[in-house]
Chain A
Amino acid sequence: MPPQQNNQPLPPGFQLDRYRIERQLSLGGFSIVYLAYDEDESPVAIKEYLPNSLALRVAGNIMPTISDEHMPAFRYGMKCFFEEGRALARLNHPNVIKVLNFFRANETVYMVMQYERGRTLQEHIQKHKGELRESFIRAVFTRLLNGLREVHTHKLLHLDIKPSNIYLRNDGTPVLLDFGAARQTLSSDQPMLKPMYTPGFASPEQYRSRDRLGPWSDMYSIGASMYAALSGAAPQAADGRLERDNLVPAVKRWAGKYSDHLLETVDWCMKIEYAERPQSVFVLQRALAQKHAVSADAEAASEGWLGSLRERLRGMISK
């Protein structure tokens, strides 16, 4: 079988609306993300809607080819892309990726987002496999939850929280990315959006009973992301857990390495029964913030932003 062809990115230097393409940042099955500069030479990230299976841009072309047969599906996917834009446009929070503009060109649509410097939590986890500090985990997730609280306040669910969708700026603050799966909670009569699952991070109800989706579903993904931060790998997928739960509770797996309190919190988020998980971001945030001060004190100052911050704080105190 011939391999599926990948879409060609727009060439470097290409003038797209009022932006100049610098280079491709990432390529997904659904879109391409570019680094570009606006007329003030400020960097932006531009996401181009270009589903691999429906629209094909061959080398040397700008316009993608979309067959008549694929057009309805292409347009339907575009609706989903608009949903992501709508969701993000309403959010304005330092821990949520900021959308700056939205426009149409080349027979498709583009979303312009703030360009952040740093790396994903996924990359961070892989680099420091199994040696993330409790204080780091607590700090990152407490802040991230600030952003998620904003999302939930707008009656939105993210539904695809995972380490690769959590970006760590160079100053260490987290940003929640990729709202491609976000859905409005209040309008259950909404057309069914494309179901997206990331094995290991999606909640059980995302597989089985989508009518039970709620803030607790994002809580599961937060728990799974924390679990991944501890283990260095994605935990067992929820659909597998429903059949045979092989997930070793965090409390057992890292007993003595991290505080029971943190480990219990992770296990709490990852309960299969949605009613047994933290029911709101706030409840979870409270739990995570609770011991933060204590554990930060207990741990020796470490490398990285948190360590240097603590050292600076200590320095200030001793002065």
Chain B
Amino acid sequence: MRFSVYQESRIGGRKSNQDRVAHCYSRDALLVVIADGMGGHLHGEIAAQIAVEYITEAFQREGRPKLPDPLLFLSRALTNAHHAILDYALDRGLPEAPRTTCVACVVQDNVAYWAHAGDSRLYLIRQGGLLVRTRDHSRVQMLIEQGAISEAQAAVHPSRNRVFSCLGGNHSPQIDYSRKTPLKAGDIIALCTDGVWSPLANGAFISILAENPVAAAVPEILAQAGKLAGSSADNMTLIALMWEDTYVGEVSASIETQTMPIDTFTTQLEKFGKGLSPAQMAELSEVDIEDAIEEIRTAIQKYSKQDTP
């Protein structure tokens, strides 16, 4: 696995930061997760903390070195995190269980899987453009999809922060899952809380990520979001991941190749051609091959004569 990852969380104009973020990887699997504790509810910060800790710990237990079934893992981890928050509330005798959004993504074998509840988002950016993003579990998202309001209207809608699914709380969460999504080298996966995506237009967010290394893009996006939101800025958390698929070279153990999923074919091909100019990608002609072989043979003869002076 080869990737670069960068995460940052800012408090914005609030008194406390209820966002939590983490990433974690083993030799063969990677987890990134973000949770946004619900400010209006008791102990939102704790819910976010429990969710992120719980999911990370589950990953550390099961991802040795990879998860047997990533989607099943996500399903169990998010559901169990939900129950862990409820247990916490019961233990403390809290009148209401704290709540948090959550989005988590696993990458292994160059395939990404993600799951979310609430309005923290995942973006997958390929070749400078948005390939896919999660759909918020919010009322305004529903209204947009019904055609009742436009994106622009949603941005200023009074109930834009209302989510109908989250971990914790009194209802079972609605968790949506991605498909198995094979990654290509250069793909960027970004997870963020609404404090980040809400003030920024989609385009700005994507182009900064697409054009900069993640370590530069993340602080830049947070700075812009903070500036646009002004003094009332929400907590802002963003983690971005640039997938740089490793070329599978001379592997000595045949088992390693055998366990490779079919998807790595494609990715490996990407690497072959990556960084090549069109001229270099131009097909090696029959004549070129003959010439190369002739050149090597001549060199072998020339240099092997040298050692018998």
Please state if B273 and A196 are interface contacts (CB–CB under 8 Å). Answer: no
Question: At the interface, yes or no: A136 with Cβ under 8 Å from chain B?
Answer: no
Instruction: List A contacts of B171 (CB < 8 A).
Output: none
Q: Identify the closest chain A residue to B295 (Cβ).
A: A86
Once the chains bind, are A30 and B250 in contact (CB under 8 Å)? yes
A-B contact list, 28 entries, CB within 8 Å = A3-B258, A3-B259, A4-B257, A4-B258, A6-B258, A28-B250, A29-B251, A53-B248, A53-B265, A54-B269, A82-B296, A85-B292, A86-B295, A86-B299, A89-B303, A90-B303, A104-B293, A109-B289, A160-B249, A191-B280, A192-B276, A194-B271, A194-B272, A195-B247, A195-B271, A196-B249, A197-B249, A239-B2
What's the least CB distance linking B140 to chain A, in Å?
38
The winner among B252, B273, B295, B304 for most chain A CB atoms within 10 A is B252
Q: Known pairs A27-B254, A192-B274. 10 more at Cβ < 8 A?
A: A3-B259, A3-B260, A28-B251, A29-B257, A73-B269, A73-B272, A86-B295, A102-B293, A196-B250, A197-B246
Kindly supply a per-residue 1/0 record for chain A positions 131-155, scoring 1 wherever the CB is within 8 Å of any chain B CB and 0 otherwise.
Answer: 0000000000000000000000000
Contacts of A82 in B (CB 8 A): 292-293, 296
Q: How many A-B residue pairs have CB under 8 A?
A: 127
Q: What residues of A have a CB within 8 angstroms of the CB of B295 in the complex?
A: 86
Which residues does A use to contact B, with CB under 8 Å? 1-4, 6, 26-31, 52-54, 70-73, 75-79, 82, 85-86, 89-92, 98-104, 109, 160, 164, 178, 180-181, 191-192, 194-197, 207, 239
Closest 6 CB pairs of A and B: A89-B299, A75-B284, A196-B249, A192-B275, A28-B250, A73-B272
Query: By the criterion CB–CB under 8 Å, are A85 and B296 in contact?
Result: yes
Residues of B within 8 A of A (CB): 2, 246-252, 254, 256-265, 268-269, 271-277, 280-281, 283-284, 289-290, 292-293, 295-297, 299-300, 303-304, 306-307
A4 / chain B contacts, CB cutoff of 8 Å? 257-258, 260-262, 264-265
| Chain A residues with CB below 8 A from B276, complex form | 76, 191-192
Which of A29, A75, A180, A192 lies in contact with B248, CB distance below 8 A?
Answer: A29
